[in-house]
Amino acid sequence: MEENKYVYKKPKKKITPFGVFNTVLFILISIIILIPIWKVLVDSFDATTGYGMNFWPKQFTIDGYRMIVTRSDLYRPFFISVIVTVAGTFFGLLLSTLGAYVLIQWEMPGRNLFSYMLLFTMLFNGGMIPTYLVMANILHLTNTLWSVILPLAINVYNLVLMRNFFEGIPGSLFEAASIDGCSPIGTFFKIVLPLSKAALASIGLMYAVTFWNDYTNFKIYIVKTELFNFQMKLRNMVMDSDTPVEVGVVSMNTVQNAAIIVAIIPFMIIYPFCQDYFVHGVNVGAVKE
């Protein structure tokens, strides 16, 4: 048997000046981004940290993290951050998926008008003061966790991304489900959601990061200190020097930097596992072929 003389060879990528420039540029940008993070990480392990840049701890210690972990008044803010993140992500995905599913119902009267109304809110909104007055005087949600969950859960940008993803699902699947007697809501749960894992993971990650890092809404709508989240407590530690420091053990900056690292650790762990879903989901939802 003769060997196949026509063997496919993968074309070699040519190195162009533009490609070299892009590579160098992105390496420089990555270094610029990583330098502040590295400084905070190093200072969190340095007992004598202060101003200036150190590439390695001069006096290594984990006492900063020990003080953060053993400080009981940080448990409640951390728990509130977890509750708000989980609940907010759930309601955000619920509203985004249901709203996107409604917008792909081509036979629904007024679908285009409803879409334009939603897009209008991406460009114009009532402003901070009218929103606060509605939240306080009409909805009466101030000093409740709903005041920080609902405003961020209703995100038109994420809804549009989800709608674009749903539009990429073949119409034959919807027709087959309808012929088999599946109701619209049954089609949503049995057909649409199982095919949307990438979009759900990517948009859910964006919601989770937004809720976890939320500071503005807590500052505006929450007055009771017992309802502050971890970011509010972190702000008080950094700006108001509300930091527990044992004399002669570590500096105040060490504990503050340790608190910052503790705040970003959850998503440093979660993000690598969701990275593939995140990239795939955003690309599929944002690009129309």
What per-residue confidence (pLDDT) applies to 86?
93
The pLDDT score that the predictor gives to residue 250 is 64
pLDDT number for residue 87: 93
Tokens of 175: 């027709």
Q: Are 212 and 81 in contact (CB under 8 A)?
A: yes
pLDDT attached to residue 5: 54
Residue pair 192/183 in contact by the 8 Å Cβ criterion:
no
- For position 141, what pLDDT does the model report? 87
What is the per-residue pLDDT across 157-195, written as a single tens digit (0 to 9) for each? 888 888 888 888 888 888 888 888 888 888 888 888 888
pLDDT under 70: residue ranges of the chain: 1-14, 49-51, 238, 240-250, 275-289
Tokens of 201: 């993971």
What pLDDT, on the 0 to 100 scale, is given for residue 136?
Answer: 87
Domains and CATH numbers, the chain: 17-60 (no CATH), 72-286 (1.10.3720.10)
Check the CA dihedral 78-253-248-241 and report its sign. Answer: negative
Phi-psi region of 181 (alpha: psi -120 to 50; beta: other; left: phi over 0): left
Give pLDDT, residue 282: 53
Give the pLDDT of residue 285.
47
Long-range contacts of 85-88 (CB under 8 A, 24+ apart): 85/208, 85/211, 85/212, 87/145, 87/149, 88/148, 88/149, 88/152, 88/153, 88/207, 88/208, 88/210, 88/211
Q: Distances from the Cα of 174 to the Cαs of 2, 77, 101, 162, 188, in angstroms?
A: 50, 45, 12, 17, 9
- Digit-coded pLDDT (tens) for 114-123: 888 888 888 8
